A and B are shown apart, each in its own frame.
Chain A
Amino acid sequence: MKCLSPYLGLALFFSPLSTQAAENLENGKNVWDKQCAQCHGPMGQGVKEAYKDPLTGDWPIHKLASYIDKNMPEEKPGDCVCKDAQDVAHYMFGAFYSPEAWLRINPPRTTPSHLTSRQIEESLSDVLANLRGGLVQVPKERGLQGTYFNDRNFNTGKITIERVDPSIRFDYGENAPEEGKLGQDAFSVRWQGSLLAEETGWYEISLHSENGCRLWLNEEDDKKLIDGWVASGIMAEHSARIRLLAGRLYPIRIDYFNFKGKTASIHLLWTPPHGTKQIIPERNLVPNRYRATFVPTTPFPPDDTSGGYPRGTLVSRKWSEAAAFAALEAADYVIENLRRFVPGKPEDKDYTEKARKFCETAATLAFRHPLAPEQQEKYIQAPFSSFPAPADAVKRSLLLTFSSPSFLYPNLLDTPTDHYSVASRLSLALNDSLPDKGILGLADRKLLDNPKILQEQARRMLGNESAKTKLQDFFYHWLDLHNTVQLAKDKETYPGFDAAVVADLRTSLQDFIRHIAWETEEADFRQLLQADYFYANQRLAGYYLPGSEFKGNPTAFEPIPLDPGQRAGLLTHPYLLAQFAYARTSSPIHRGVFLTRKVLGRRLQPPPEAVEFEEDKFPGHLTLREKIEKLTSPKNCQGCHSIINPLGFTLENFDAVGRYRKTLGDKAIDTQAPYTTETGKTLVISSAKDIAGLAISSPSAQKAFVKQLFQYYTKQPIEAFGSEAYSKLHQSFVDNKFNLRELIVAAAVLYAQMPDLPQKP
């Protein structure tokens, strides 16, 4: 049945209700109470014997209305049509159906959840690292320690040069590495140190050489990742894949030699996740050698992000299998390296006892809590009494431990909140991992009910590399940059904007955030939105500032000013601008939606109907802005687009790859537009700087940022902690002059002190 809509769509939510609309809503409520409530409950909560599921979802109103029109009431479709159907849809939407309404009448509480995939990986890796002496801090020194031998056999008597090489990219041609010091036709070089990974994922490592070479990575035995020892003077490329976790150091060694080869060269390259094949840069090489790290390779399904942040609130078949296989991987790793974890020989008198103690420590770490007697029995005693051979008992014990709910569900402890639960939550919030020895010691001494000590610990734990990778991940999430694999532009319009530039942009953004958050005293969030420089290496500088001269190491990233006065930190970072754009043109709507939701924290309803922007359907003389204004001019679009468009237009000075421009075609770009704030004030805005100003000065925007950060860090809805706690957290952010590190500390401490889930009375 076709009906004419008396509504102006979503305008309802952004303008005061007209009398007409109020009457319609009144009618909607009456219809609901009479015809629907019987089966769905007065507030859509469901009725046991009828329709038992709560009535909530994300359909837009028009879809709800048309569904009701056709199908409802179930026993007599046709009794609620046209205006009644539309009225009731509007009433339901606002009263309980929409996610916002649902949240309002069902305020969230902390929810049971398991570790997220990142938390499982980090925790498993850290348990094993702690069992071998703890984590290491990333040192400042960069490069690899090179030892040069004047023979082909790495003969220690023939060491000629020892030095740190920034990276391995050597083309000796027909010469020796150091003329006169080494013989051309017989020399060897050993490089040692560690590799620093900045992203989690699979890396492809490559050695290019026409001579002999071998490579060991994340390995303490003799297991080579690459063996290209035998060579016949023909350039060869040897590659292998390995998975690495971000923020960790992995021991690396390369042996290289030339014997009677006419020419000599060696290059060490990688293709990191989100990156392109390149020489492993100096920033990722460290001359000290560290222990190997356990890296699980079991793929996990993505975490539940339906709440707006990843959390462990879904169990699927794939997830439960992945959790079990990852546990097995960790147990197998220990068995393969048992002599490193449990020194001694199985036939030693005290070996079984040592192995038992080892398992006890492992379980204590994994459960983040001293073992209860029944846990002691189940996870330690039972395996050791069933299996006479220590290796079998260790494997069984670890497999049980790492698959246990006590490991996987950290906020469902068997005991009421105590000092260990506080330590556990603080570590999960800051490091996505287990408590380290430092904080466990304080839990032992029952000192973690002291907020001051908690804050000190939080600040200390922020120094861990995993805290840095977590903040990096938060920003990718906040900036909607999590799925950027496909970022590519039209080659004719944007020549030179290739995969290497895209990878560099990611590094550039990363370095910028890293600099503000960790390298400046103030860690000022406002700087992130206002800075007018960006980080560039030679390639990026060449692309974004053609003709400029790049000084310094061509592969290193340095802060350089970009279009003075035009840039506003993250908001105008080319990585972001390119992401929110089409292959040929910018996209003010995508940019506007991002700014509205994420940066200014305002709510938008899903569009009542999906409309595609087909640029070539508009008369050619119109500017992009005019076309969009025309497209979104219907009144039921304007409810949201009156906000989205002006925000998006302010960024029109940046093309689809984020370069600054003043004109488009032969027309000057007009970025000025009126914008109505959430308090109803109308301002004229015209640049990214204006938006940065709004985001910084608007309490609701600040609050939205605080909420997003809190939820990402703690995996719990902030509303569950009460509105007072939320306001206090926001206030402390403002009082601390928008210090990001202090905000993280405050969020983690708030979360750490939360009570456990209510126990059964």
Chain B
Amino acid sequence: MKPTQNRRDFLRKLGVTPAALPFLTGLPSLGYGSACGRRQRLVIMFSPNGTIPSKYWPEGEGGDFKLSEILEPLQPWKSHVLQLKGIHNKIKGDGDRHMRGMSCLLTGTELFPGNVQGGSDTPAGWAKGISIDQEIKNFLQNDPKTRTRFGSLEFGVGVSDRADPWTRMSYAGPNQPVAPTDDPYQMYRKLYGQFREREDILSILDEVHQDLKSLSGKLAKEDRELLGNHMQLVREMEKEFEAGKGQATKGPALQEGVDNQNDNLPQLSRMQVDLLVNSFTHDFARVATLQYTKSVGQARMGWLNIQESHHTLSHKPDKDLDAFQWLTQINTWFAGELAYLVQRLAETPDPHGEGNLLDNTLILWGNELGKGNSHTLDNIPFTLVGSAPGIRTGQALDLKGEAHNRLLLSLAHAFGHNLQTFGNPQLSEHGPLDLS
């Protein structure tokens, strides 16, 4: 469907001026996060099928490094970037590498044996443990000072409507995958549904009232009572909905009628990012995941003039220069979406406390594989952006083969959740990585 016009236009047509729709921020009516302490937030972004290492990893190490081609969109935010090479997903056991890459990425633990067969290895089921985003969410929700309306929000972009170990990285516990929502309208309804519906209804109440009045005028006197009551109630509803508008939390203006399909991924991505940022502004949640497609994702990025689908391309050998170039472009596009998120966070003042949202948000961008055509789980392309206690950005590190469980532990520690191990205990040995 052709994108049409945004919600503000829609409302204006209904005679409601945008001025009457202030984008109020941080009202305590729905988000009920605490009024004290810094609001610390976490976003985990995922894109699939490995990267092109030579175009991804930076030149140089430590503070003196140069962003590579794929990370070029993050150039304006270089001082907020921490690139982490040398982190391996060392989970073994059932499931092919895409499955383990995905379902173990945030859980750091093995998969159950099961009935889902990949292209190789043994069939598998769901992950055996909770994922780090849900672990941190629970930690924050357990404390009234950091508790929010939703705790965490799981955004998706073009995930596809399948539930299997390739499509789920978030787990509430063993065998409990958490589905991301990849329809922005559905997410909008979840976040602001009652307001949208009330607005829609408010937009017609005056006409309903007119109709009732004109119908009533045609009736004999003794038959008018019912319509009279109805008219009065319509006016009451109108007053209440109108009054509620001023206090209501508003969502961002979304384009109407964007179908949830491949060609619309660029728009869908921006809509989801806008919703994510808005949900932070209103303190609906402190933790969010943003999942682009799924492991083995087959996005066809026609908007980059690439007609072949992503996973198929990722299997091509390095010497296929076209594929090499296209995969670089694809990964650069994901970096661009990350940059958009970073920019939106940076330009949005934190309604609570100091600075902007980026000052109080840590983003981890990850992938289920290190490299597509080798299906390696080594050197997962991890990049951190933003800030959190104990994490120094503006540098590039090579950790030379540490288990990714230690990175997950670092995230927990950055939120004050000082776990000893996470996921597989052996792989958690030596605790969190030193990222300061």
**Residues of A at under 8 Å CB distance from B?**
111-114, 152, 211-212, 222-224, 227, 229-233, 257-261, 313, 315-317, 320-321, 324-325, 328, 335, 338, 345-347, 378, 386-389, 391-392, 395-396, 399-400, 403-406, 409, 412, 414, 757-760
21 residue pairs from A and B, CB less than 8 Å apart: A111-B226, A112-B227, A113-B226, A227-B163, A229-B162, A233-B113, A257-B115, A259-B117, A313-B226, A324-B204, A324-B237, A345-B1, A389-B5, A396-B203, A400-B204, A400-B208, A403-B201, A406-B211, A759-B218, A759-B220, A760-B217
CB pair B226–A317 under 8 Å, yes or no, is no
CB pair A414–B226 under 8 Å, yes or no, is no
CB pair A758–B220 under 8 Å, yes or no, is yes
Q: Which of A232, A391, A403 contacts B204 (CB 8 A)?
A: A403
CA distance A677 to B257 in the complex (A): 69
CB pair A315–B230 under 8 Å, yes or no, is yes
CA distance A387 to B218 in the complex (A): 31
Per-position binary interface string of chain B over residues 110-142, scored 1 when its CB falls under 8 Å from any chain A CB and 0 otherwise: 001111110000010110000000000000000
Chain A residues closer than 8 Å to B212, beta-carbon distance:
405
CB pair A316–B125 under 8 Å, yes or no, is no
Residue of B nearest to A261 (CB): B115
CB pair A231–B114 under 8 Å, yes or no, is yes
CA distance A259 to B2 in the complex (A): 42
At the interface, yes or no: B305 with Cβ under 8 Å from chain A? no
CB pair A112–B114 under 8 Å, yes or no, is no
CB pair B2–A346 under 8 Å, yes or no, is yes
CA distance A168 to B2 in the complex (A): 43
CB pair A328–B123 under 8 Å, yes or no, is no
CB pair B163–A230 under 8 Å, yes or no, is yes
Residue of A nearest to B175 (CB): A232
| B233 CB → nearest A CB, Å | 4
CB pair A114–B220 under 8 Å, yes or no, is no
Chain A residues closer than 8 Å to B72, beta-carbon distance:
none
| A405 CB → nearest B CB, Å | 5
CB pair B13–A387 under 8 Å, yes or no, is yes
At the interface, yes or no: B399 with Cβ under 8 Å from chain A? no
Chain A residues closer than 8 Å to B220, beta-carbon distance:
757-760
At the interface, yes or no: B234 with Cβ under 8 Å from chain A? yes
CB pair A223–B161 under 8 Å, yes or no, is yes
Residue of B nearest to A336 (CB): B185
CB pair A230–B218 under 8 Å, yes or no, is no
Q: Which of B2, B117, B123, B233 contacts A317 (CB 8 A)?
A: B233
CB pair B215–A224 under 8 Å, yes or no, is no
CB pair B226–A389 under 8 Å, yes or no, is no
CB pair B115–A391 under 8 Å, yes or no, is no
Residue of B nearest to A408 (CB): B230
CA distance A257 to B114 in the complex (A): 12
Per-position binary interface string of chain B over residues 3-25, scored 1 when its CB falls under 8 Å from any chain A CB and 0 otherwise: 01100001001100000000000
A260-B123 contact, Cβ under 8 Å, with A229-B162, A389-B2: yes
CB pair A315–B4 under 8 Å, yes or no, is no
Residue of A nearest to B185 (CB): A336
Q: Which of A230, A346, A404 contacts B114 (CB 8 A)?
A: A230
Q: Which of B1, B10, B115, B223 contacts A211 (CB 8 A)?
A: B115
Residue of A nearest to B236 (CB): A317
CB pair A232–B227 under 8 Å, yes or no, is no
At the interface, yes or no: B256 with Cβ under 8 Å from chain A? yes
Per-position binary interface string of chain B over residues 280-314, scored 1 when its CB falls under 8 Å from any chain A CB and 0 otherwise: 00000000000000000000000000000000000
CA distance A405 to B112 in the complex (A): 58
Chain B residues closer than 8 Å to A233, beta-carbon distance:
113-115
Residues of chain B in range 17-73 having any CB-CB distance to chain A below 8 Å: none
CB pair B227–A324 under 8 Å, yes or no, is no
CA distance A386 to B4 in the complex (A): 13
Chain A residues closer than 8 Å to B257, beta-carbon distance:
335, 346, 389, 391-392
At the interface, yes or no: B180 with Cβ under 8 Å from chain A? no
CB pair A760–B219 under 8 Å, yes or no, is yes
CA distance A175 to B67 in the complex (A): 58
CA distance A757 to B165 in the complex (A): 64
Chain B residues closer than 8 Å to A405, beta-carbon distance:
208, 211-212, 215, 227, 230
At the interface, yes or no: B200 with Cβ under 8 Å from chain A? yes
Chain B residues closer than 8 Å to A404, beta-carbon distance:
208, 211
CB pair B256–A389 under 8 Å, yes or no, is yes
Per-position binary interface string of chain B over residues 220-261, scored 1 when its CB falls under 8 Å from any chain A CB and 0 otherwise: 110100110110011011000000000000000000110000
Chain B residues closer than 8 Å to A224, beta-carbon distance:
161
At the interface, yes or no: B207 with Cβ under 8 Å from chain A? yes
Residue of B nearest to A382 (CB): B207
CA distance A649 to B350 in the complex (A): 77
A414-B215 contact, Cβ under 8 Å, with A320-B237, A325-B197, A389-B257: yes
| A154 CB → nearest B CB, Å | 14
| B54 CB → nearest A CB, Å | 36
At the interface, yes or no: B359 with Cβ under 8 Å from chain A? no
CB pair A112–B204 under 8 Å, yes or no, is no
CB pair B256–A230 under 8 Å, yes or no, is no
Residue of B nearest to A224 (CB): B161
Chain A residues closer than 8 Å to B221, beta-carbon distance:
760
CA distance A325 to B115 in the complex (A): 43
CA distance A414 to B226 in the complex (A): 16
Please provide the 7 A-B residue pairs with the shortest distance between their CB atoms, ordered closest to farther.
A389-B4, A232-B125, A259-B115, A232-B112, A232-B114, A227-B163, A320-B233
Q: Which of B5, B126, B226 has the most CB of A within 10 A?
A: B226
Chain A residues closer than 8 Å to B234, beta-carbon distance:
320
A230-B5 contact, Cβ under 8 Å, with A315-B230, A409-B215, A760-B217: no
CB pair B233–A388 under 8 Å, yes or no, is no
CA distance A541 to B126 in the complex (A): 45
| A756 CB → nearest B CB, Å | 10
CA distance A316 to B175 in the complex (A): 47
Chain B residues closer than 8 Å to A389, beta-carbon distance:
2, 4-5, 256-257
Chain B residues closer than 8 Å to A321, beta-carbon distance:
237
Chain B residues closer than 8 Å to A395, beta-carbon distance:
200
CB pair A114–B233 under 8 Å, yes or no, is no
Per-position binary interface string of chain B over residues 253-287, scored 1 when its CB falls under 8 Å from any chain A CB and 0 otherwise: 00011000000000000000000000000000000
CA distance A388 to B10 in the complex (A): 10
Chain A residues closer than 8 Å to B125, beta-carbon distance:
230-232
CA distance A111 to B224 in the complex (A): 10
CB pair B1–A412 under 8 Å, yes or no, is no
| B390 CB → nearest A CB, Å | 36
CB pair A325–B211 under 8 Å, yes or no, is no
Q: Which of A315, A346, A396, A400 contacts B1 (CB 8 A)?
A: A346
Chain A residues closer than 8 Å to B205, beta-carbon distance:
324
CB pair A230–B1 under 8 Å, yes or no, is no
Chain B residues closer than 8 Å to A403, beta-carbon distance:
201, 204, 208
Chain B residues closer than 8 Å to A313, beta-carbon distance:
226
CA distance A149 to B118 in the complex (A): 19
| B190 CB → nearest A CB, Å | 15
CA distance A45 to B163 in the complex (A): 69
CB pair A388–B2 under 8 Å, yes or no, is no
Q: Which of A211, A231, A378 contacts B207 (CB 8 A)?
A: A378
Residue of B nearest to A211 (CB): B115
A328-B200 contact, Cβ under 8 Å, with A223-B161, A224-B161, A760-B217: yes
| B180 CB → nearest A CB, Å | 14
Q: Which of B10, B208, B217, B233 contacts A392 (CB 8 A)?
A: B10
Chain A residues closer than 8 Å to B227, beta-carbon distance:
112, 405, 409, 412
CA distance A260 to B122 in the complex (A): 10
Residue of A nearest to B215 (CB): A405
Chain B residues closer than 8 Å to A114, beta-carbon distance:
226, 230
CA distance A660 to B218 in the complex (A): 60
Q: Which of B4, B116, B219, B230 contacts A230 (CB 8 A)?
A: B116
CB pair A392–B219 under 8 Å, yes or no, is no
CB pair A231–B115 under 8 Å, yes or no, is yes
Chain A residues closer than 8 Å to B117, beta-carbon distance:
152, 259
Chain A residues closer than 8 Å to B237, beta-carbon distance:
317, 320-321, 324
CA distance A231 to B125 in the complex (A): 6
| B8 CB → nearest A CB, Å | 13
Known contacts A261-B115, A320-B234; 8 additional CB pairs below 8 A are A212-B115, A328-B200, A346-B257, A389-B2, A391-B1, A391-B256, A399-B201, A759-B218
